[in-house]
């Protein structure tokens, strides 16, 4: 049984009824967090009970907001590999380096967790029409789960969004509108249609349940390491739901007695072309300000102002972690290194965590004996537009110079 009880504001703590559709706090406009009867969870399930359960994020059903299992809309998301990174680890002097590989998940990005959960909950609450402004992976994930749930799905994207993201929505039947403008213009169009179209806006942290899907990454890290946590988690941050969700669930796990009070240092990575949270961190501010002209190859990190920025900053500061901005040059070079050495075609956002780790090693804020988990949040296969083909084309009628391969 799910022990989900109510929603609570992340800023002012105001309690909200979870049996009806909610968006953000009615009092202060900040994100709402799902709360559980953790005593009841404690009585109902132990860590051992999880062994042998389904290898999806729904193995943690008691800690998730879906009340009736029949409302779950799933493509098998979750329980992704925790891959040891030994060779690159050795090259940079780290003995205990891992990648939590979200490249292997339905729709090829970890947005599947958030939107799979949000669509399931939307179905449970009777929502039949959803809309989202997105420049990328979130749109693909929402379209897929929306299709599976039989919902009407509307996606508003900047017209220069990657072809793969436009097609992945189109192919599963979403109505895709390309906007000759920025993601913020797409957002305005979604808001503008709410009365006439009666759709529900799935924008990041504009509803409480995407976060609950993403928090399962934190439970998996703990379970995959036999209920211990690493010393450092490095996470590529756009809207921040992943890092906020993990930080939230660590407290839930501690209350259950499944982990102790120790926490990883949470490191939030952005790129120099869009680093509002890093800027706020460096300036000692509680919230970020809008980042103009955001531009980066790590398109999942192109979020000029995140609704949950203050929660990301809080998790970095409370955990003794930090916020770091890396350049596109660094992350593309690290993408090549990880791919070539480990056979792991990571996405640019995932590669950015390696660049951040190298900087931390250089400045001494990570020790070579520490256990570090990098998050690869998607598959590099969704980003082939960033790469050129390097192979020469040969004429099969002419003798081939095999020596040229050596
Ligand atoms: C959306 C996205 C991110 C950022 O995730 P948040 O949890 O919103 O910070 C990182 N990587 C990829 C591949 C993404 O699609
Ligand atoms: Zn509030």
Domain of 348 in residue numbering reads as: 82-108+210-386
In this structure, which ligand is nearest to the CA of 300?
A: 1
The domain total for the chain is 1
Residue of the CA atom closest to atom 2 of ligand 1: 300
What average pLDDT score do residues 374-397 get?
Answer: 96
Give yes or no for residue 101 CB within 6 A of ligand 1: no
Tokens of 274: 């869009």
- Separation of CA 403 and ligand 1 centre (Å): 43
pLDDT score of 203? 85
- Please name the residue ranges forming H helices in 193-289: 194-197, 209-214, 216-224, 241-256, 276-282
Surrounding residues of ion ligand 2, Cβ less than 5 A: 9, 11-12, 14, 25, 27-28, 30
Instruction: Tell me the angle at which helices 137-149 and 163-171 cross, rounded to the nearest 10 degrees.
Output: 0
Give yes or no for residue 378 CB within 6 A of ligand 1: yes
Alpha-carbon distance 218 to 248, whole Å? 9
- Separation of CA 39 and ligand 1 centre (Å): 32
What average pLDDT score do residues 115-144 get?
Answer: 96
Alpha-carbon distance 313 to 230, whole Å? 20
The CATH number given to whatever domain includes residue 371 is 3.40.50.1100
Give a yes or no: residue 75 inside a domain: no
**273, pLDDT greater than 80:** yes
Give a yes or no: residue 353 inside a domain: yes
- Please name the residue ranges forming H helices in 4-156: 38-44, 47-50, 86-92, 111-124, 137-149
Give a yes or no: residue 28 inside a domain: no
Give a yes or no: residue 329 inside a domain: yes
Alpha-carbon distance 111 to 134, whole Å? 12
Q: Are 326 and 340 within 8 A, CB to CB?
A: no
Give a yes or no: residue 10 inside a domain: no
Q: Which atom of ligand 1 is nearest to the CA of 349?
A: 11
pLDDT score of 320? 97
pLDDT tens-digit map of 97-122: 999 999 999 999 999 999 999 999 99
pLDDT score of 183? 82
Q: Are 62 and 237 within 8 A, CB to CB?
A: no
For the four alpha carbons of 116, 291, 266 and 37, in that order, the dihedral sign comes to negative
pLDDT score of 206? 85
pLDDT tens-digit map of 312-327: 999 999 999 999 999 9
Which residues lie closer than 8 Å to 51 by C-beta, 6 or more apart?
none
Tokens 């990880």 sit at which residue? 338
Q: Which atom of ligand 1 is nearest to the CA of 347?
A: 13
Alpha-carbon distance 151 to 60, whole Å? 25
- Averaged confidence pLDDT in the chain: 96
Give a yes or no: residue 285 inside a domain: yes
What are the DSSP calls for 288-352, one per residue? --PPTT---S-GGG--SS-TTHHHHHHHHHHTT-EEEEE-HHHHHHHHHHHHHHH---B-HHHHH
Q: Which atom of ligand 1 is nearest to the CA of 114?
A: 7
> For the chain, what percent of residues have pLDDT higher than 90?
94
Tokens 């939307």 sit at which residue? 122
pLDDT tens-digit map of 392-402: 899 999 999 99
**72, pLDDT greater than 90:** yes
- Residue 135 binned pLDDT confidence (cut-offs 50, 70, 90): confident
pLDDT tens-digit map of 199-228: 999 987 789 999 999 999 999 999 999 999
Sheet order of strands, 15-16 included: 15-16, 4-9, 32-36
- Separation of CA 6 and ligand 2 centre (Å): 14
What average pLDDT score do residues 326-342 get?
Answer: 98
Give a yes or no: residue 234 inside a domain: yes
| Chain-centre distance for alpha carbon 244 | 10
> For the chain, what percent of residues have pLDDT higher than 70?
100
Residue of the CA atom closest to atom 3 of ligand 1: 300
Give yes or no for residue 347 CB within 6 A of ligand 1: yes
What average pLDDT score do residues 379-400 get?
Answer: 95
- Separation of CA 150 and ligand 1 centre (Å): 25
Residue of the CA atom closest to atom 8 of ligand 1: 239
- Residue 151 binned pLDDT confidence (cut-offs 50, 70, 90): very high
- Residue 181 binned pLDDT confidence (cut-offs 50, 70, 90): confident
In this structure, which ligand is nearest to the CA of 108?
A: 1
- Residue 309 binned pLDDT confidence (cut-offs 50, 70, 90): very high
- Lowest pLDDT segment from 66-70, 74-78, 205-209, 233-237: 205-209
CA atoms within 13 A on the CB side of 124: 22
Give yes or no for residue 133 CB within 6 A of ligand 1: no
What average pLDDT score do residues 168-192 get?
Answer: 94
In this structure, which ligand is nearest to the CA of 242?
A: 1
pLDDT score of 182? 81
Tokens of 379: 């598959």
* Kind of pairing between the strands at 322-326 and 265-271: parallel
pLDDT score of 205? 72
Q: Are 169 and 155 within 8 A, CB to CB?
A: yes
Q: What is the DSSP letter of 177?
A: E
Instruction: Tell me the angle at which helices 241-256 and 216-224 cross, rounded to the nearest 10 degrees.
Output: 60
Give a yes or no: residue 222 inside a domain: yes
């Amino acid at each position: 049984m799910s022990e989900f009880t109510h929603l609570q504001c992340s800023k002012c703590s105001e309690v909200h009824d979870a049996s009806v559709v909610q968006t953000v706090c009615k009092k202060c406009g900040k994100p709402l967090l799902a709360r559980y009867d953790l005593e009841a969870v404690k009585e109902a399930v132990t860590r051992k009970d999880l062994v042998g359960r389904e290898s999806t994020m729904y193995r943690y059903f008691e800690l998730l907001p879906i009340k009736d299992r029949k409302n779950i809309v799933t493509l098998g998301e979750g329980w992704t590999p925790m891959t040891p990174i030994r060779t690159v680890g050795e090259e940079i002097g780290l003995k205990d380096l891992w990648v939590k590989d979200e490249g292997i998940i339905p729709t090829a990005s970890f947005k599947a967790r958030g939107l799979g959960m949000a669509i399931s909950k939307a179905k449970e609450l009777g929502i039949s029409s959803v809309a989202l402004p997105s420049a990328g992976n979130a749109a693909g994930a929402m379209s897929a789960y929306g299709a599976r749930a039989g919902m009407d799905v509307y996606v508003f994207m900047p017209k220069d969004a990657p072809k793969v993201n436009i097609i992945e929505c189109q192919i599963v039947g979403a109505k895709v509108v390309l906007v000759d403008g920025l993601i913020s213009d797409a957002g305005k169009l979604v808001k503008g249609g709410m009365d006439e179209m009666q759709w529900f806006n799935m924008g990041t942290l504009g509803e409480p349940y995407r976060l609950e899907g993403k928090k399962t990454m934190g439970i998996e890290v703990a379970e995959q390491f036999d209920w211990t946590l690493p010393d450092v988690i490095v996470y590529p941050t756009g809207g921040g739901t992943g890092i906020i969700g993990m930080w939230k669930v660590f407290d839930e796990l501690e209350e259950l007695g499944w982990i102790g009070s120790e926490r990883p240092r949470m490191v939030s990575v952005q790129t120099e072309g869009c680093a509002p949270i890093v800027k706020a961190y460096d300036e000692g501010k509680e919230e970020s300000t809008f980042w103009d002209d955001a531009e980066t190859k790590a398109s999942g990190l192109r979020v000029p102002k995140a609704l949950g920025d203050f929660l990301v900053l809080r998790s970095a500061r409370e955990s003794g972690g930090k916020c770091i901005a890396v350049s596109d040059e660094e992350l593309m070079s690290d993408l090549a290194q990880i791919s070539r050495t480990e056979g792991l075609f990571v996405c640019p956002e995932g590669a950015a965590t390696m660049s951040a780790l190298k900087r931390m090693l250089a400045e001494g804020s990570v020790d070579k004996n520490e256990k570090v988990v990098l998050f690869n949040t998607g598959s590099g296969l969704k980003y082939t537009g960033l790469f050129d083909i390097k192979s020469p084309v040969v004429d099969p009628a002419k003798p081939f110079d095999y020596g040229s391969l050596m």
